[in-house]
Amino acid sequence: MPAMADPNASLEEAVRTLLAEIGEDPSREGLARTPERVRRMYDELTAGYHVDADTLIDDATFAVDYDEMVVVRDIEFFSLCEHHLLPFIGRAHVGYLPRGRVIGLSKIPRIVDMYAQRLQVQERLTVQVADFLMERLEPKGVACVIEATHMCTMMRGVKKQEATMVTSSMTGTFRRDARTRAEFMGLIGKA
């Protein structure tokens, strides 16, 4: 029976090819282990593909008699732009209006990370976080605002160092009720 191919070998070989294509010697001392380091880096930066959403929230939703807004703001994240494989870095602000159930505080940043640690566009990331909470908690509504700087805008193309992209996804009451939306925006410091 033939030996199984090393699944890491093809990514490492691709990095060697990339190094050679840009004019480098992949075997020189400073680059010899770069393919392995890049593979490990991508394993870490794309770990969200391997997160089981059910296990992530597991037994961390709780019945409560509370129906006021719950907000977790300034959740830092790192993601990779699917267009250039360059990082975008930012903060997510997430709020919801419970309908008898809340989720453990640490789970909201974990949900953001689950989606951020995939090849992404910021718009989709914003919607995925809001939709996940809407589906799993069935609250009156969810709001997600994400602010990020994109290395593809800073390092290449237009080369704008101060440009920040802001995206939002509002569901349920946050979409229908301007006062609820305004309260959320005030709580995240964006009134």
- 83 catalytic per annotation: yes
- 84 catalytic per annotation: yes
- 82 catalytic per annotation: yes
Give percent of the chain with pLDDT exceeding 90. Answer: 94
Give percent of the chain with pLDDT exceeding 70. Answer: 97
- 150 catalytic per annotation: yes
Q: Where in the chain is the domain with CATH 3.30.1130.10?
A: 58-187
DSSP annotation string for 16-84: HHHHHHTT--TTSTTTTTHHHHHHHHHHHHTGGGG--HHHHHTT-EEE-S--S-EEEEEEEEEEEETTT
- 93 catalytic per annotation: no
Q: Out of 82, 123, 135, 138, which one is annotated catalytic? A: 82
Beta bridge partners of 72: 94
Phi, psi for residue 59 in degrees, rounded to 5: -110, 35
Q: Out of 50, 83, 123, 135, which one is annotated catalytic? A: 83
Q: Binning pLDDT at 50, 70 and 90, where does residue 123 land?
A: very high
Q: Out of 12, 120, 150, 183, which one is annotated catalytic? A: 150
- 117 catalytic per annotation: no
| Domain 58-187 grouped into CATH 3.40.50.2000 | no
How is the chain split among helix, strand and coil, in percent rounded to 5? 40, 25, 35
Model confidence pLDDT, tens digit, residues 145-188: 999 999 999 999 999 999 999 999 999 999 999 999 999 999 99
